[in-house]
Structure 1
Amino acid sequence: MTSSADPYRVMVVDDSAVIRGLLTRALEQDPTIEVVASVPNGQMALTQLPRQPVDVVVLDIEMPVMDGLTALPQLLRLQPGLQVIMASTLTRKNADVSMRALRAGAADYVTKPSSGGELHSAEAFKRELTDKVKALASAARGGGGAGQRSARPAAAAQRAAAPSADITLRQPSSQIPDILAIGSSTGGPQALFKLLGDLKGVLRLPVLITQHMPATFTTLLAEHLGRASGMDCHEAKDGEPIKAGTVYVAPGDWHMTVVAEGTSRLIRLNQDPPENFCRPAVDPMLRSMAPIYGARLQTVILTGMGADGAKGCEAVVAAGGQVVAQDEATSVVWGMPGAVATRGLCSAVLPIEEISGYLRRKVLRSAA
C-alpha cells in the first residue's frame, strides 16, 4: 500500500543508458522522488510495471523493440490513473508524436536538452522534469489542494460541480465580449482540444492562447487546434492585426501581447524576461489586453502547474472583464485555475466539458 508520505515512485524508459542515468540522477536529487525502475524500451516497461507501485512513467519516444507511442496506451490500460510524461528531443517529428501522445492519454511532456546544450538549459530541464513529476505523482495519489488534482471519481467530472466553500464567485457581466483569452499549461493541450472542438462552428470571436510550450511544439499545437476547431489557427506573428474567427497561439520563447493603434488591435511579441519561469507566460498577455478590451474581455484559465495567469486575471477583473476557470476534478493539475478560483476572480468554475456551454449561453448568447 502506497501512502502520501512515501516517496513518489518513477519509472524511467529510454533506450540510452546514459540518458536513463541522467534522468535518474536528476530526479533523485529531490528526496521526495525515488526511481524504482529503469528500462530500455516500452516492452520492458510493460513487463516491469506490475512488479512495483509506480506513480509516474517518464517515457522516451524513439526506442527499439517498442516505441513510446506504442507503449503508452498499453501502460495506461495496465494501470489506470498512471501519469505518463513523454520525453523527446526537440524536433518537428518528435513534437508531432508528443502531441499525438497527449491526445492519447499522456499527461505531459519534456524536451531533453541538446547534447551540446548549456548548463542553464540542463538545469532548467532538471527543474521542469522534477516539478512535473512531483505535481503529477501527487495527482496520481489523489493529492488535494491548489496545484494538484483530486481523486474524485470520473462520474464527478461529468456533473456540474458546485464551487467549494472557499471559492467565492463574482456576478457574471452582461457584456458580450469582443475577444477570448485562454491560458494553460500542464494538461492544457488536451483541454484546449476539448474546448475548441466543442465550440466548432459557433465561435466567431478572435481567440488568443498562451500555452506553456517551447518553439516547434507551439507550431504543431496551432496546427492540431486548427483541425480540432475548424478555425484559422496559427502561431501569432509580430504586428499582425487581430481578426474575428482566428485563433492566435503564442509562439514558444515569445511573450504574446496586444496593443491598440487607432481602431486596430495588433499582436506584439517580445522576449522580455520569463515570468513564473515561463516564456510565453499568461500574465503579460492578460495585462496587455485588460486596459484595451475592459469589460469585453473573456478569459479562461485551464489546467496547469503554478499560478501564471493569476495576476493577469486580477487586471482583467479590475478592468471589468470576466474569468472562468477549469474545475479541480477535471484539471490534470489545479495550480493555475486554482490560483484564480481561490482568489475570488471567477464568474464560474466548471468542468472542462461545461466551459463551452457556459461560453455559448452566457457569453456568445447562442444556443447551447
Structure 2
Amino acid sequence: MTSTGTAPAPDAALVRRPGPARVLWLLVVLAVLGALLATSVAIGSRGVGWADIVAALGGSSETIGEAAVTKRIPRTALAVVVGAALGLSGAVMQGVTRNPLADPGVLGINMGASLAVVAGFAWFGLFSETAIVWTAIAGAGVAAVFVYAVGSLGRGGPTPLKLALAGAATAAALTSFVTAITLPRGDIAESIQSWEIGGVGGATFDRIGTVLPFLLVGLAVSLLSARSLNSLALGDELAAGLGERVALVRGVAALGSVLLCGAATAVAGPIAFVGLVVPHLCRLLVGVDHRWLLPFSALTGAALLTAADVVGRVVARPGELDVGILTALIGAPFFIWIVRRQKVREL
C-alpha cells in the first residue's frame, strides 16, 4: 500500500528528537490523560463529589451520585480504548501507505465496517456482540482492499491524492448504502442512526471485554511492525535492500490497522478523523520514528477521544453531543490544512 517513487526526505526537525525530550513528552501525555480520566469520571449532567467517586470505585452505587459515577467509569474506559485504537490505526495506515491523508474515516474503512454491521443487523439478525465485531472487521478489510485497488488504477500507482479521492468516493457510496438499508427498517432505524453518529454512551465492561481481544491483537501486530514501517519510509527499493519483505510487511501492518479500526467501529460506531489528527500531532512531539510514534499515537488518541467526550457532556447540558460530532468538527478543518500544507505529497 504505497505510491511509487521515492518519498521526499522528512523534515529534519521532525526526525531528530533527543531521548530526554521524548521521555518528557511521554510524561506530559500520561499526565494529561490521567487528568482527563479523572475529569471524565467527575463531570456529567450531574455533579458528584470525591466521596461519591471513591465509593463508586469501591463498587458502591447506593446514592444517585455513586450510580452516576458507576455509569461513567466504563464510558471513560471505552473512550480510552477506542481513541487509542483509532489513533494507532491512523498512524499505521499513514506509515503503510506513506500518505499524510490516511485515516480510517478518510479512506472509507470505517464506513466499510459500518455497512457490514448495518447489513448484518437488517438482513441477517446479527445482534451478538462477537458476531458484530467479526462482521465489522471483515467489512473494514474489504473496504481497505477496494480503496487501495481503485487508488492504484492509472498512471503513477496509488498516490496520496488518488487514495484520498478513492476513499472519499467510497465512503460517500457506502453511506448511501447504509441509508438505503436503514430507511425501510423502522424497527431498527433509530438505533442504527444513533450508532452511526459514533459515541461511547451506554458503554459496559461486557462490551469492552468483547472487543478487547481483537484490539490487543491489533495493538501487538501494529507495534511489532514499527521497525519495518521505518524501513518502508525510506522507499520500497531501499527497504527491500535492507532485507525487508515489503509486500509481507505492508500486509501484516495493514492487518493490524484493520483489526483496530474494525473492532473500534463495532463497539462505538464510525468515528472519523482521530486517526488523521493524532499521528500528525505526535510527529511534532516525537518525530517520525515509528517505535515512538505508534505508542504515542495510541496514548494521544485515548486523550483526544476522552477530552471530546467530556466536552460533549459539558457544552450540551443536560443533554450531550456524541464524540463523533466533535471529532468531525476538529478533524475536517485539520484535513483541509493538511491538504494545503502537505500538498498531498507522500510522508
- TM class, shorter-length: under 0.3
RCO higher in structure (CA 8 A, sep ≥6): 2
The structure with the greater share of residues assigned to strand is 1
Q: TM-score, normalised by structure 2?
A: 0.26
The structure with the greater share of residues assigned to helix is 2
Q: TM-score, normalised by structure 1?
A: 0.25
